[in-house]
Structure 1
């Protein structure tokens, strides 16, 4: 019988990606500590990109009204995938992908829990600010048509009033699982086209299935602030934000970040 010369280290098949994610968490730690203003700008850019592509998706859905619903939904999902591709390839700061990075960093003891909390809430705050800036600039234009405002209001109602906390939580888990598994796989590749393809795959699934992405949702609520404030039930909006936030962390931080950190080595694997 052939001798088995493999070691435990040989089973860490994606260790390089886990190590890269750990280094990402350390870079975020340095950035938010040493240059918080620059970090805030990068986080705002993510929120801005999500919001502007959300408007693009609403335009597609309203202008293609009358075509089969499934076709409209897949076109909207494909169009929205552009946002995350641009965010990742420009190294902007997005809360939901940071869930994976900081959890990997915490597993390998590269970042403290206190700093993780700081990064998470600071990033989320400025993601929201980016969406507010976009809709604030757009408010005095005719980009958002009455049909688009109606579609926005209907989407918000579906995500808030018509959804239970449990449905939001589970959809939040599914959403960020697909997003972060796409990002994790994309880290295998050096070229932008391959990265973009796998990132987009995860986004298309979550948008088409109507899963809950807390930053995307926050952008929708920013739109409601400017276009139809009375059309939103703000208590239910808060419910959505809270449980989508928790679900997104579980899906991206636990189901992807922690799982792949664990299967690629012990907690002290990179300590010297």
Structure 2
């Protein structure tokens, strides 16, 4: 690669890695759809299980008398740290999570490696698989004591806050902003994982843990986590369906802007080496489309 191009576009390694991942995901969704759904379902089970752990940890610390008023805050911090490992488990098991795939499909669309309808289909299949995983976890939780006692209280309190956003226009705006920032943080972590600068698995894991810690501790809104939480509570005490649907719909749009636009499209644009030779906007060559050479190389 031209040294000037490498210097001006230091994120080309990141873009190439994401495009390779996009090609794999697109082929899976076309040729082995059931297996793709299975991988997405596993991501739903993992994120749901770690979310349960978050509420369980929060409940334990809130119930320690010696901690006084600091118990809930400490529990939230420790629970957020535990929940942060969900993304690590999802990444290293090669499971498929909707929110990180928003970034992948956006970059693939920018570089014309994925058509809009196929990109939407891939994301829809991923969300369906994530929701199926959440449904399975919800059924298992229904016939167990995983959500009993103070854990259920914490979950109901979280649901009350999330559905409360739907009561006013300002609340929905708050939800939207929180959804944008949530997936921005998740995909900043994935950018660090894909960009080639982090060389060892431990550092990659810590980057992912920290990004999810921030979104969980700040109460940012993740469409898949919310879907699974609402499913689990729906199998238990019950939930108001339409406010829950509205919450997930707004979170989906906000997550796409945060991960797909502010990370995916943004980094695809600022690392587009074709700006140097005036080819931006032109169709890629067949070799580029086939993935034989990186775009602009």
The worse-fitting range, judged by mean Cα deviation, of 72-81 and 40-49 is 72-81
Output one character per residue of 1:115-139: Cα deviation in whole Å (capped at 9) or x when no partner: 0110111110110110110121232
> What does 1:4-19 correspond to in 2, within 5 Å?
7-19=4-16
Picking from 208, 213, 218, the partner of 2:227 is: 218
Partner of 2:242: 235
The worse-fitting range, judged by mean Cα deviation, of 112-121 and 163-172 is 163-172
Picking from 168, 173, 186, the partner of 1:179 is: 186
The worse-fitting range, judged by mean Cα deviation, of 259-268 and 120-129 is 259-268
> What does 1:1-272 correspond to in 2, within 5 Å?
7-66=4-63, 67=67, 68=70, 69-163=72-166, 164-187=171-194, 188=196, 189-229=198-238, 232-265=239-272, 266=274, 268=284, 270=295
Normalising by structure 1, we get a TM-score of 0.93
Task: Tell me how far apart the structure 1 counterparts of residues 165 and 6 of structure 2 sit (CA, whole Å).
Answer: 49
Do the aligned partners of 1:23 and 1:105 also contact (CA within 8 Å) in 2? no
Normalising by structure 2, we get a TM-score of 0.85
> Where in structure 1 are there 5+ consecutive unaligned residues?
none
CA RMSD of aligned residues (A): 1.7
The runs of 4+ residues in structure 1 deviating greater than 6 Å are: none
Output one character per residue of 1:40-85: Cα deviation in whole Å (capped at 9) or x when no partner: 1000000000111111111101111144132121111101011111
Do the aligned partners of 1:171 and 1:212 also contact (CA within 8 Å) in 2? yes
User: Aligned-pair distance for 1:190?
Assistant: 4.0
Task: Tell me how far apart the structure 2 counterparts of residues 254 and 150 of structure 1 sit (CA, whole Å).
Answer: 36
Matched residue count:
266
Do the aligned partners of 1:173 and 1:249 also contact (CA within 8 Å) in 2? yes
> Where in structure 2 are there 5+ consecutive unaligned residues?
275-279, 285-293
Task: Tell me how far apart the structure 2 counterparts of residues 115 and 61 of structure 1 sit (CA, whole Å).
Answer: 40
User: What's the secondary structure of 2:62's corresponding residue?
Assistant: coil
User: What's the secondary structure of 1:64's corresponding residue?
Assistant: helix
